[in-house]
Amino acid sequence: MAASYRRRVRGDRAFKKLLTRLPAAVRDEMVETLQEGGVDILEMEQAGATVSKRERASLTVKVLPGALQLKVGLVGRPINRRLWWAKIIERGRKAQIVSVTRLHRGARDVWLGRVRAWGVSARRKPGDLVSRYQMRVRALAPHPAVYAPQVLDARNTLGGKIVGFWERTLTRASAGVTDD
């Protein structure tokens, strides 16, 4: 099911194979271009982050040189996993009713004792120690920082840098000059 949401471009696999066969000097130049563009996008995102200093600090740039990919935003660091709510603030939330399961007061020690003694799953809490109820969650309007218009402009700037990179590379290749 998840594969149906992926965007496919005709020729993307052939292009990835082409990227893996690039000379080392060209790959290094591409990584530098991605890094420069990533820093530009990161600055725009940090300027647009409206919630907290902590959210701004969690935005990072990561360039994967093997795959020639650029990741900017809440990239997998431990602090970012603790800031799960930043994605909700970024994208917003719809109003809904959710099921909540909470332990009774004082039941945590009993539950942990059962987990240690019987080796039962710590994820599933026993029915005699919990209360279940429905909770209404209000809608939250999105406050975009990562997908804000100024960030999209920075992405277009990155596209321009990549076009310039390819122009330089193809000009060198057509002239017969190699860096190897």
pLDDT band of residue 149 (cuts 50, 70, 90) is: low
Say yes or no: 78 and 13 in one domain.
Answer: yes
d(CA 114, CA 121): 9
Say yes or no: 81 and 107 in one domain.
Answer: no
Burial of 157 (0-12, 13-18, 19+ CB in 10 A): middle
Say yes or no: 117 and 77 in one domain.
Answer: no
Say yes or no: 28 and 116 in one domain.
Answer: no
pTM: 0.57
Burial of 129 (0-12, 13-18, 19+ CB in 10 A): middle
- Residue 129 in any domain: the answer is yes
Say yes or no: 55 and 84 in one domain.
Answer: yes
Distance of CA 90 to the CA centre of its chain: 12
- Residue 111 in any domain: the answer is yes
- Residue 3 in any domain: the answer is no
- Residue 40 in any domain: the answer is yes
Say yes or no: 87 and 21 in one domain.
Answer: yes
pLDDT of residue 16: 78
| Domain residue limits at 26 | 8-91+148-175
Say yes or no: 15 and 68 in one domain.
Answer: yes
Say yes or no: 14 and 64 in one domain.
Answer: yes
- Residue 2 in any domain: the answer is no
Straight-line distance from the first to the last Cα atom of the chain, in angstroms, rounded to the nearest whole number: 45
pLDDT of residue 5: 46
Range with the largest mean pLDDT of 43-52, 74-83, 125-134: 125-134
Say yes or no: 110 and 87 in one domain.
Answer: no
Say whether pLDDT at 81 is over 70: no
Say yes or no: 83 and 25 in one domain.
Answer: yes
- Residue 156 in any domain: the answer is yes
Say whether pLDDT at 1 is over 50: no
Contact 68, 31 (CB under 8 A): yes
pLDDT of residue 9: 65
Total domains in the chain come to: 2
Say yes or no: 86 and 103 in one domain.
Answer: no
pLDDT of residue 178: 58
| Radius of gyration for the chain, computed over Cα atoms and rounded to the nearest angstrom | 24
Say yes or no: 79 and 104 in one domain.
Answer: no
The strand pair at 60-64 and 69-73 is best described as: antiparallel
- Residue 143 in any domain: the answer is no
Q: How many residues does the chain have?
A: 180
